[in-house]
Amino acid sequence: MRRPNLLSPASLALLLGGLLTVLGATNLQHEFALSANGWRAPGRVVDFVKLPGSGVGPATVLEVVPPDSPPFHVQVSRPSSSYDRDKGVTLNLVCSELRPEAKSCEVDTFADRWLEPMLLLVVGLPALAWGALRISARVPDAG
């Protein structure tokens, strides 16, 4: 019986497809949990700061004013092209909690929250299936 080559296109597609599928599914699960348990609030852009060790660009600092609480600032580190990045612009946010220690706030748009996990799945699942089918077609039955 011939052993599958680990560097064959089918094996690489299987590995890469599996990795992309797991990343996409994990990110998608995080977004579902944030939608179900998160707090929505408007945030006004007040500043931009460069995060140490981050090569993706400046983080956006937003001021959030929750009901019956003092305003506080949160940072959204993922840059987005789907909104105008000017000071004073109000963006819809979804946060894991509405307090100053909130570490997980995201801009609440389809492009910012759902597009990346969906693209990872759209690329990963077909690659995973193609690699699995190609490898299973090459391996003869042992029966």
pLDDT, tens digit (0-9, with 9 covering 90-100), for 7-35: 889 999 999 999 999 999 999 999 999 99
Domain assignment of residue 3, yes or no: no
DSSP E strands: which ranges in 2-58? 39-49
The domain tally of the chain equals: 1
CB 27 within 8 A of CB 117: yes
CA distances from 95 to 8, 20, 59 (A): 43, 25, 16
- Bigger pLDDT: 8 vs 4: 8
Instruction: Give yes or no for residue 143 having a pLDDT over 70.
Output: no
Percent of the chain surpassing pLDDT 70: 80
Which structural domain, as residue segments, surrounds residue 80?
Answer: 9-138
Q: What is the pLDDT of residue 133?
A: 93
Q: 1 lies in a domain?
A: no
What's the pLDDT at 55? 60
User: Is 4 domain-assigned?
Assistant: no
49 within a domain of the structure (yes/no): yes
Give a yes or no: residue 2 inside a domain: no
- 65 domain-assigned: yes
- 0.85 surpassed by pTM: no
Specify which of 25-34, 41-50, 57-66, 85-94 reaches the highest per-range mean pLDDT.
25-34
